Amino acid sequence: KDLKIGEMERITVDYVKGILLPTSTCEIWDQIWNFEAKPDDLLIATYPKAGTTWTQEIVDLMQNKGDVDKSRRAPIYERIPFIELVIPAIQCGLEQANEMPSPRTLKTHLPIELLPPSFLEKNCKIIYVARNAKDNMVSYYHFHRMNKGLPDPGTWNEFFEKFLAGKVCWGSWYDHVKGWWEAKDKHQILYLFYEDMKKDPKREIQKVAEFIGSNLHDEVLDKIVHHTTFDVMKQNPMTNYTLISTAVMDHSISPFMRKGAVGDWKNYFTVAQNERYDEDYKKNMANTSLTFHFQF
Ligand code: A3P
């Protein structure tokens, strides 16, 4: 906890079934794969930086009937365990989950083919959130810069190449969003989009309420909308990750709550990169009905 910036090494990474993951996760892969979900578990699944924390806070507030004080009981990563996260000697998502009383809400970034099978076997409810690839990439780049829990991203140009090749932690964005999209009608999966949440948060929050069977008055929904706006969450230490040691996350490099916008990619993609990406996107998304908004 008292470590200073620079005193902590960046993590190393490895592969599980062709997907790049932190080595600490790979090392306990058998345990993760054999995780025993319970039928009343609610899982929030995302590609990293697609709006996980936002969705977690919405769900937690909903479960507490909009009681903001209850949602301030602990940082978001303690309220909702991140099942495949292992920070040796500090945090283990599996242990957190196993110690938690039911009904549990859990978080994962795993692509569906790496999801522990018990979640689908037990027919758990799953909320998946997807974000357009370009904003997702920019957000992930900045998160790598400030977070020692991910490899060094190199320059923007270098990261762009790695992202395009799917050689980043949790694998290819394409495979992730498409894999979950294809599964959504066969299981209890609510598939949401970051862009829709930005555009009409109340409508999307209502979808979540309906999905998890939470019957809340309109005023409570309005309260949840307010408390989960970017500006409010950015100021809230229980959601903005500032309680994590600065040796791990250095918000002076880039804050966790960075911009929270749609279309920020335009400030990073060069014209050439944009053309290349569009080309690659067309190829990879040709076989799916899934579509995204890249701007409003
Ligand atoms: P940016 O880096 O584009 O700002 P995750 O929680 O999956 O790690 O995603 C983090 C991204 O979601 C960051 O994107 C963060 O700012 C954004 N975010 C977090 N809370 C948000 C909110 N309430 N509204 C909009 N965006 C939010």
For residue range 139-164, list pLDDT tens digits in order: 999 999 999 999 999 999 999 999 99
Confidence of residue 89 (pLDDT cuts 50, 70, 90): confident
Distance from Cα 34 to the centre of ligand 1, integer Å:
30
Pocket test for ligand 1, best of 46, 53, 156 (most atoms within 8 A of CB): 53
* Whether pTM exceeds 0.95: yes
Q: What is the mean pLDDT of residues 173-186?
A: 98
User: Whose C-alpha lies nearest to ligand 1, atom 8?
Assistant: 49
Q: What is the pLDDT of residues 105-125, one digit of tens each?
A: 999 999 999 999 999 999 999
Distance spanning both ends of the chain, measured CA to CA = 41
Half-sphere exposure at residue 162, Cβ-oriented, CA atoms within 13 angstroms: 20
1 vs 131: which has the higher pLDDT = 131
Cα 186 to averaged position of ligand 1 atoms, centre (Å): 28
CB of 264 closer than 8 Å to CB of 137? no
Mapped onto helix, strand or coil, the DSSP state of residue 189 is strand
Atom of ligand 1 at shortest range from CA of 139: 2
For residues 42 and 125, what is the distance between their CA atoms, to the nearest angstrom?
5
pLDDT score at 264: 98
- In tens, the pLDDT along 52-70 reads 999 999 999 999 999 999 9
7: pLDDT strictly greater than 80: no
How far does residue 121's CA lie from ligand 1's centre (Å)? 31
142 is annotated as an active-site residue: no
Distance CA 147, CA 101 (A): 30
Question: Which residue has a Cα nearest atom 9 of ligand 1?
Answer: 49
How many whole angstroms from 192 Cα to the centroid of ligand 1?
14
Interface ipTM above 0.95: yes
The mean-pLDDT minimum among 21-30, 35-44, 85-94, 191-200 falls in 85-94
Transcribe 50-64 into DSSP letters: SSHHHHHHHHHHHHT
Q: Ligand 1: which residues within 6 Å by Cβ?
A: 46, 48-54, 135, 139, 142, 228-230, 233, 257-260, 264
